[in-house]
Amino acid sequence: MPNANAKTSPVEQAMSETKPGSMKAIKADSTAQQNPGVHASEAPGPQGHSLEERALKSMHLAVENLQRLQHSDGSWLGDYGGPAFLLPMYVALCEAAQRLPDPHRGQRMRAYILSTQRADGSIGLHAEDDRGSMFCTALNYVALRILGASPEEAPLVRMRAWMNAHGGPAGAASWGKFVLCLMGLYEWRGIWPILPELWLLPQWKSFHPSKLWCHCRQVYLPMAWLYGMRAQAPLKPLICALREELWNGAWETTAWEKQRSTVCEEDNFRPQTGFLLRANQAQALYEASHLTSLRKKAIEECLKHIIYENKATQDINIGPVNAILNAFVHLFREGGEADFERGFARLEEYLWEGHDGMKFQGYNSSQLWDTAFAIQSVLASPVADKATSLLEKAYGFVRDNQIVEDLPDKEAHYRHRCLGGWPFSTRPHGWPIADCTGEGLKCALALKGRFFPGVSPFLLNEAVETLLSFQNEDGGFATYELKRGGNWYEALNPSQVFGEIMVDHTYVECTSSCLQGLAHFQRCFGPQERIERALRRGAEFIQSQQRGDGSFEGSWAVCFSYGTWFSIVGLLAAGLRASEGCIQRAVSFLLSKQRSDGSWAEHFSSARERRWVEGNRGHVVQTSWALMSLVLGQCHNKAAMEKAARFLVESQEADGSWAREMMVGIFNKSCLISYDNYRHYFPLWALGLWAGREK
C-alpha cells in the first residue's frame, strides 16, 4: 500500500504540476500522427504522458543525476581512458624505478589490460579497437609479466601466439620499440635516431622542434634525451626471461639495424614516406660520427626544456606520455632524484579506477571541459531553476581554474600566451586550449552576476585577448597554439600509428568554440570591430570545410555527427541565419543518416576512413549532437526531431543516467578515448533545446 505520508520527489512533483495542454501544441506532421489530430509529441507514452511531459521528467532525472555526480569542488570527474599503450608505459616506469603497485592495485591493472584483449589474443591501439596492435600487445604483455602474471597463463599464451603470427615485436610501431629499449627488451641500434642536436638548431630552421604540435614536441623532447643517453633500466632476471619469451631465442641473432623500418601491417596507419626514410638515413649518418661535445650540449638543452615543462605544469605535464617519459629522464639522470619523486607522485592523477579495472588516462582529467558542457546542458533545460546549487558550485570551479598569469620566459621555451585562458583539466596543468577557453568564457558570461565572487572584468578581457591570439591565417583555430608549420611536415610523421601529429591544425570544433565565446562576449559588452572580423573569418573557415554532402568532419570525437554539430553552432554564433544554405545542407545530411528508431549511429572507423561509417546500434551521445543540430538549424521535419527525442527519453536509465556505449572521443584519426561524462549531460542538453524549440 502506498505510504500517504511519503514525500514527493522533485521529479514527481514536476510531473504532477505539468497539466495536459500546458505546453504549446506542435503543428501535426502527417507522417508522425499516432491518432487523427494528435501530434506524436502529444501522443500518450507508456505511462500515459505525452512525449513532452516524459522529456520534462527525463530532464529532471538527468539534473538529479548530475547533482549526485558533481565533485565537491564543483566539477565533474570522469573516465578519460581508452588508449591501450598508456598503462603499460606507466608499469614499465614502475618496474624501472622499483616502485611496483601494491597487490590490489596491480590486480586491478591486470584486470583492465585483460578486459581489452581481443578474441585473437591481441590488444588494439585502444580498448575497443577492431584490430590488434603489435605496439600495444607487446607492451601490455610486458606489463602483465611485471604485474606478476605467469607466461603460462592462457591470455599470455594467446598474446605470444598472436605476436609470433604477426612477425614479433620487431614489427611494433616506433613508440613501442622505444619503450622496449628503455626496458632492455630491444636494442637502441634497432630504431632510427632521435637526435637531441635538433634542439640546438636556430629556431627559424624548418626542422627546429619548436615548429611541432606541442604534444608531439613534448613527447619527442624526452625521447631525444633518453635516446642521446641510451638510457636503459638495469638487466634483471625478469627482463632476461622476457627477452626469451618475446624473441623466441632470437635475441642474440637479431639484425637490429635491419629492423629500424620494420612495422607490422596492423601498426602501419601512417607508413614511412620516402622523405622520412631519407631524413632517417641522414640522421643515422650523423649519429655514427656525432661530436661528443655537441651531444653533451644538446642533452643539456633538452633537459632545460624538460625542467621548464615540469615547472610550468607543476609536474603534471601536458599529457601522460611526456609525463612518463620525463619521469624516466629524471630517474636515469644524475641528480634527478627530487624531480623524479615529484613527477612520479603526480602520475597518480592520471590513474583511474573504473568499472573495468585501473587504467591510465589520456590527461590528468577532463574536468574543465566536462564542467563547461554540464553547465550549458543545465542552462539549456527548462529545469535550470531547480539546480541553483549545482550551477553555483560549477561556476566556482570555472572561475577558480582560469589561468591568471602568463609564464615567465615563455618565448624562449616556445610557449603561447596563457593569461586568461582555460585548460582542459585544471589550472595547475597550465596549458590553455583554444576551445576550452571558448567554452570557459561562455560559462563565465552565462552566469555573470548570478554568483559571487565572479570572474573579474580584467580576466574576461584577457580571455578574449587569448582567443583572438589563437586565430590562424586561414581564419580557423587550432588547439594550444598557432599552426607553426605547413602540412608537408606530416610526411615526416615517425609514429606510424597516429595521423596529423606533426603540426597543430585548424579544426571546425576549436573554431566553433572560440567563435561562440567571442560572440557571447559581444552580446554582453557590445560589438568590437576586431571581434567582428574574427567572427567573419572564422565563419568563412568553417564554411570552407563543408563537404559536398553537407557534412563537416570532426577530429576530436566520432566524427561527422560531432563536427557537423559544432559547425552549425559556430556558424550561428558568427551571425549566419539558420536558413543559410550551408546550414540547411548540414541539416539534410544529418536527416539522411537518421535510423528508423530515431537515433544516429556512427562507427569510430569514420575517423580512420574519413567518411561516414554506419554503426551497429543507436548511440545516445551522437543522437544528442544530431538532435541539437536539427533544432538549432530550424529543421522543418518535426517528426524526425520527435523520434530522436523519444529515443533519448526511452534510453534513459532509472537513475537519470544513460548507459555506457561505444567510446566516442578520438584523437589523431586512429585512437578512441572515453569521455564518460558525455552520456550524462549531452542528452539533457539535446532534450532541453528540443523542449524549447519554436513550435
Task: Enter the C-alpha cell of residue 44.
Answer: 500518450
The residues near 278 (Cβ < 8 Å, ≥ 6 apart) are none
The residues near 426 (Cβ < 8 Å, ≥ 6 apart) are 364, 365, 367, 368, 401
Question: Nearest Cα to 446, choosing from 501, 373, 502, 553?
Answer: 373
The residues near 435 (Cβ < 8 Å, ≥ 6 apart) are 477, 479, 509, 510, 512, 513, 514
User: Which candidate in 79, 435, 504, 676 is catalytic?
Assistant: 435
Torsion of CA 319, 373, 77, 106, to 10 degrees: -50
CA atoms within 13 A on the CB side of 199: 28
In our burial notation (b when 16+ CB lie closer than 10 A, e otherwise), range 208-236 reads bbbbbbbbbbbbbbbbbbbbbbebbbeee
Determine the longest span between alpha carbons in the chain, in angstroms.
Answer: 89
Report the amino acid identity of residue 540. E
Task: Enter the C-alpha cell of residue 166.
Answer: 604477426
Task: Enter the C-alpha cell of residue 212.
Answer: 611541432
Q: Hey, how many other C-beta atoms are within 10 angstroms of the C-beta on 549?
A: 14
CB 156 within 8 A of CB 150: yes
Task: Enter the C-alpha cell of residue 408.
Answer: 615567465
> Cα separation of 507 and 556, whole Å?
9
Helix axes 214-229, 320-332, angle to 10 degrees: 20
Report the amino acid identity of residue 582. C
Task: Let me know if 435 is a catalytic residue.
Answer: yes
Coil vs helix vs strand at 477: strand
Question: Nearest Cα to 647, choosing from 587, 591, 596?
Answer: 596
Q: Is the peptide bond before 453 cis (omega within 30 degrees of 0)?
A: yes
> Cα separation of 467 and 307, whole Å?
27
> Cα separation of 666 and 498, whole Å?
11
CB 540 within 8 A of CB 503: no
Quickly tell me which residue has 570544433 as its cell: 509
Quickly tell me which residue has 589523431 as its cell: 668
> Cα separation of 536 and 530, whole Å?
10
> Cα separation of 624 and 557, whole Å?
13
Q: Measured at the alpha carbon of residue 553, what is the angle toward residues 550 and 557, in degrees to the nearest 5? A: 135
Residues known to be catalytic = 435
